[in-house]
Chains A and B, each alone.
Chain A
Amino acid sequence: MYLEVSHLKKSYGEGGSYAEVLKGVSVSVEKGVMCVIQGTSGSGKSTLLNCIGGLDLMDSGSIKVDGKEIFGLSQEKLSDYRRENLGFIFQFYNLVPNLTVKENIQVCEYLSDHSMDIDELMETLGLTEHQNKFPSQLSGGQQQRCAIARALIKNPKLLLCDEPTGALDSKTSRDILVLLEEVNKKYGTTMLIVTHNNSIKNMVDQVIFLKDGQIKKNYRNETKVPASELEDL
C-alpha cells in the first residue's frame, strides 16, 4: 500500500466547543490510484486530507506514506515531507498574483530535484499559450490548470486535491477532471480528491465515503468511466 491510515483521530476545541471530527479512521490507498473522498459538510473529509498532507496534526493514529510514518513529525520535517512527496490543489487557486503562469509553476519546480519538464507539463495542461499571462488575465479554469501544473511540476508521488472543481462551472470542471485523469495515466501519480460532487466518484478507482468522522463506505470502483463522459458536474 502506498498510503496507510490507521485509527486516525482528530478533534477540535475544548469543553463546550469540543468536536471529534475524525473518530478512528482507517483506510489504505494503492500507488497510482485515483481515489475520491466524499461526504457531507462536516463529515471530516477535508480534515482527513489535511492530516494526510501534514497540514493538520492528528491526535492519534498513524499515517504512513510510502512506508514512512508522519505522525509525530516536527513542522520542519512535515515541510520536508510535503516538499518531497506531495502536490496540493485547492478550491481557490491561490496563484501568486504578480507572477506569470510559467513563473508560478517555476516557483515549485525548484522544490524538487526530480521535477518534470515544465514545457511538456504546460503543453499537457494546455497552458503553453498562456504561459506569459498573469493570473488576473486567466479564466477560473485556466487558473486551476495553472494550480495543477504548479502542484505537479515537482513530480509528487501523491496529489491531494481539495474540491478542485468547487469554484468552476460544469464544462471547466470536466476539463480539469480530464486533465487529472491524463496526469494520473501519464505520470502514475496517486491522487486523493476530496469533493462533494457525486459524479466524480464515477471516474476514479477507489471511493471512500465519510460520515460523522467515520468511514461508511470504502470500495473499488469497478465501473469506472472516463472523465470526459461524466454527467451532472
Chain B
Amino acid sequence: MQKILRKRIFRELKENLFRYIALGLMIIIGMFIVISLVAAAETIMTGTELASKEQAAEDGQFSLFAPLTDEEKQKLKDKGAAIEEHFYLDYIADNDTVLRAFKIRQNIDLLRADTGSLPLKDGEILLEKRYSEETGLAIGDVIQIGKHSFKICGIGTVPDYEAPYRNLSDPAIDSSQFGIAFFTESDYEMLKKEHNSIQSEEYVYAYQLNDGLTDKELKETLQDFTMSADDIEDVYFQEYWNRTGGKIEDFKEALKDLSDGAEELSDGLSQLESAMGGMQESGFFGNSLDDYAYGVSKTADGAEELADGISEFSDETETFIDDNLNVELSKLTQFLTAEDNMRIGAASDDVAINKSVGLFAGVLLIVLIAYVISVFVVHTIEKESGVIGTLYALGVKRKELLLHYLILPAAVTFIAGIIGTLTGYSSFGVRSEMQDCYLYFSLPNLEVVHKAYLFVYGIVMPPVVAAVTNFCVIRGKLKKPALALIRNEQKVTNAKNIRLKGGDFIRIFQIRQFLREKRTAFTVFFGMFFSLLICMLCMNCYVLCKHVKEETSADIKYKYMYTYKYPEEIVPQGGTEAYGVTLKKEVFGYNLDITLLGIEGDNPYFDAGVEKGQNRVLISSAVARKYRIGTGDELVLKDEENDKNYAFTVDGIVPYSASFFVFMDIESMRELMGENEDYYNIIFSDDALNIDSGRLYASVSKEEMEKSAAVFVDLMGPMITTLSVASALIFIVVMYLMLKVMIDRSASSISMMKIFGYRKKEIRRLYLNGQLLVVAVSALIGIPASKAMMNAAYPYMISNIAVGMNLSFEWWMYIGLFGAIIGLYLIVTPLLMRRINKILPAEILKNRE
C-alpha cells in the first residue's frame, strides 16, 4: 500500500512545487549556513590544535625584570621546564605602524611560513600574516626600520600571536596598525644596540612543562628568583632605582656615618679628658681647671655611652633591614599560562560559540520548517478527511497513514538537508565562513576538517526532527474515529466556542477567523520570533560595534596615554599622573585584565570623583556592563602574580567604555599597594610628550584607540548584512506560506462570501486585515521578547572579547523594526490577494463534489 501511496507524494510535491521549493530552499540555506559555520569552527578548532602541536606551542610564558642567569636557567631545566627567550622590541616602521621585532625561534612557538621562507640571512624579515595583508606588504618588498632596510622573505604565523593584540588589555586587534616580525638573531641584536625602539626590551620567556611540572610549581620557582639592582644595566632602571629602592643604601650609609661620628666624638672627648689630666698635674693652672676637667670627664663618659648605643642601634637596624627590607628584587613581572593568554587559542574560543549557537539555531530552524510543513500536512489531512475515514473503514490502519503523511516532510527535509550539508561542506562554504576568522586572527592555512557528526546532523537531523514534529502534530488529527473523519467533524474547542457579544460583524468575523486559524497564527509568530532572534543577533552586533566606536571616541578625553616601566621623578609637564595596576577578573570562563587606576579626584580626563578609602572604587561603564555589576556591589579583583585578592565596594559608575578601568583615589591606592606618596606609572596628556621610549611599557593615542574600536564595525559588517537578509527571507517565506494556507483553508467560505456578494475589499478586511493584527501583535510581543533573549545570550557569545556591552537600542530602531515587519507583510499582501482573487464562487461546489 505504501508503494501506491508513495506515488501521490511526488504528485503532492508537484502540485505544491513553489511551497516545497521555498521550504527546501530555506532548509538548504539554513543548513548551508549552519554546516559551513560549524565546519569552519571545527576546522579552526582542530586545525589550530594540530598547528599548535606542529609548531610546538608554548604552555605559557612569563615576563621578567631582567633576563635569567645561567644558574636560573639550569634550575628551571632541572625542574622540567623547557624555556626559550621571546624577547621583543617595538619599532615604528616606515609605514607608521608599530612592528614588534622578535628573533626567529628554535624550540617553542615555531614560525610557520605560509608563503616564502624563514629569514635565513641578515637583512631578511618574516612578517606576520594579518599585518602583511592589512598593510599590503608582500614577499620581496622592503620595509624600513630605523636606519635599516629589510627584505620580506616570508609571510607566516606563530601560535603565541594567533590573536595579534598589541597589548593584552586591548579590546580589539588592529592589524593595520600593529604586527609582528621575525629577524635573524644578529639583526635583532643590531637593532637592539641602536636603541631606536619605542619602548624598552621586554624579557619574555615561553615555556613548556615536562616531567610532571605544573604551572603553579613553575611560578613558585620563578617567584624565588631575585636580582640585585646592580645586575641591571638599563640606565632608566638605574635612575629609577636610585631614587626609589636604592635609597635604602643611602640609609645604611647615613647610619654608618652616624655610628662613626658617635665613635669619633667619644674618642675626641677621651683625648680631651686625657689632655685635661696632664694639664692639672702640671700645676700651672691652679684649681681653676678642676671643675672643667670634671665636666669633660663626664661628657667623655656620656659620648662613649652614646657611641655604644649608636653602634647597637646600627647593628639592630642592619638586622631589621636584612630581615624586612630585602633589597633583592623579585624578577617575575608577569606569569601567563597559555590558557589565560588572550593571544593564544583565541580563534578557537571565538568559533566555539559559533559551533554551539549554529547547531542550536539549525535545530530551531528545522523545527520551524517542520512545523510549517506540518501545518500543510494538517491542512491536507483536513481536506482529505473523508478519504482517510473511508480508508480506515476499509481497514487501513492509522500507523500506515501516519507513516505515509510523514514521508513527505521527512523526504523534503532529507533532500534539502543533503544539499545544504554538501554545499555547506564544500570548500566554498567552509572557506567563506572561515574568512571572518582569517580576516581577524593570524591563522595558518588550514585544511578543511570533515566531522562525521556534522554529516549526521545535516542529513539525519532534519528528517528526524521533521518526522518527530509532524508525528506530534498530525497524530492527533489521524486519531479521530473513521466516522468523524468521513463526516469531517470539527472538534469544538473552548476557544472556538467563545461567545462574542456586540461589536461590528467584521471585527467579530476577524476574531472568529483568528480563533479558527490559531495554529497558523502561532506559526507566523514562531517564524517571526525565529527571524527576530537572528535579526536581534545582527542588530545587537551592530549596536555593540557602533557603541564601542562612538563611545570610545566620546569617552576618551585624553589624547595620549603613556604607561611607564621606569617612571620619572617628576611628572612630565603637560601630563597628569595616574597609578595603574593590572589585575584579573573572570567572566564566563575567561580571565580578563582590569586596570585598577589610581587618579586624583579632580582628574580632567575622567568624570570620576574618587574619594579616599582603600576599598572604595568607581568602575568604568565597560566593567559595569561586562561584569553586570553596579553601585553598592562588591568587586573582587585578583593579583595573580602575588596570589592576592582585593575586594572593593563600588561607589558608582563612570561613563568610560574604552577600557576595563576601576578608578580609585591615587593616594589610597598608593597606600594599599605600599608605594611612595608620589608614585605614578601612567601619564595622560593632551599633547604628545617627549618621554624616552626606554622608560615605557606602552604608549597609545586616542586616534589609535578609535581606529581599533572601528575595526569591529568593518569586521562584522558583511555578517550583519547576510544574516539580516536571511532573517527577512525566513520571515517572509514563513508568513507567506502560512497566510496562504490560511486562505486555502478558508477557500470554501471565501467562495461563499463571493456568492453572497462581498467585494474584494470586504473580503480582504475579513480574511487578511485580521492577519495584519496577528502580525502586528506578534511583532509587539516578539520584538521585546527576542531582544531580551538575545541580550541575555549575548554576553556568552562574546565572553572572550574585552569590551563592555552597550546593547541599548535607540527608540527609532524598535519603531523601524516594527515598521519593517509591517512592510514585509504589506509586500506579501498583494500575493495573498492574488490567491484570494483566484478563488471562484464555484469553489464551494467543487469542495462538496
Contact = CB atoms under 8 A, between A and B. Distances in A.
A86 B394 contact: yes
B49 to A, nearest CB: 53
Contact of A88 (B5, B390, B481): B390
Contact of A94 (B1, B3, B12, B387): B387
A111 B396 contact: yes
Contact of A98 (B8, B398, B481, B483): B8
Contacts of B386: 90, 92, 94
B849 interface: yes
Given A79-B395, A79-B397, A167 B4 contact: no
Contact of B4 (A55, A94, A110): A110
A92 B849 contact: yes
Contacts, number: 90
Nearest to B391: A107
Contacts of A140: 849
B487 to A, nearest CB: 10
Contacts of B3: 110
Contact of A56 (B4, B5, B384, B483): B483
A95 B389 CA distance: 11
A106 B391 CA distance: 12
A82 B481 contact: no
A90 B394 contact: no
B244 to A, nearest CB: 91
A144 to B, nearest CB: 10
Contact of B486 (A76, A82, A87, A90): A90
Interface string A85-111: 011101011111111000100111011
A76 B482 CA distance: 12
Interface string A26-63: 00000000000000000000000010010110000000
Given A84-B395, A94-B390, A154-B394, A55 B8 contact: no
A99 B8 contact: yes
A53 B396 contact: no
Interface string B469-494: 00000000000011100100000000
B393 interface: yes
A56 B11 CA distance: 33
B15 A98 contact: yes
B644 interface: no
A96 B387 contact: yes
Contacts of B1: 106-108, 110-111
B162 to A, nearest CB: 58
Contacts of A147: 390
A103 B395 contact: no
B482 A55 contact: yes
A98 B1 CA distance: 15
A151 interface: yes
Nearest to A95: B387
A55 B483 contact: yes
A12 B586 CA distance: 70
B384 A53 contact: no
Given A56-B483, A94-B386, A95-B387, A87 B7 contact: no
Interface in B386-413: 386-387, 389-398
A106 B4 contact: yes
A110 B3 CA distance: 10
A220 B389 CA distance: 32
Q: Which of B5, B386, B393, B486 has the most CB of A within 10 A?
A: B393
Contacts of B483: 50, 55-56
Contact of B394 (A56, A76, A80, A151): A151
A34 B396 CA distance: 25
Contacts of A56: 481, 483
A95 B3 CA distance: 17
Nearest to A103: B4
Contacts of B387: 94-97
B7 A99 contact: yes
Contacts of B8: 96, 98-99, 103
A84 B396 CA distance: 11
Contact of A97 (B384, B389, B395, B486): B384
A145 interface: no
A50 B482 CA distance: 10
Contact of B7 (A82, A95, A103, A151): A103
A82 B394 contact: yes
Interface string B1-27: 101110110011001000000000000
A114 interface: no
Interface string B268-309: 000000000000000000000000000000000000000000
A30 to B, nearest CB: 23
A224 interface: no
A178 to B, nearest CB: 22
A93 B391 CA distance: 11
Contacts of B397: 76, 79, 83
A174 interface: no
Give the 3 A-B CB pairs with smallest separation, nearest first: A83-B395, A94-B390, A110-B1
Interface of B: 1, 3-5, 7-8, 11-12, 15, 384, 386-387, 389-398, 481-483, 486, 849
19 contacts: A50-B483, A55-B392, A56-B481, A79-B395, A84-B395, A88-B394, A92-B386, A95-B387, A96-B5, A96-B387, A97-B387, A98-B11, A103-B4, A107-B396, A108-B1, A110-B3, A111-B394, A147-B390, A167-B849
Given A55-B392, A103-B4, A108-B395, 14 more contacts: A83-B396, A88-B393, A90-B393, A93-B849, A94-B386, A96-B387, A98-B8, A99-B8, A103-B7, A106-B4, A107-B1, A108-B391, A108-B396, A154-B394
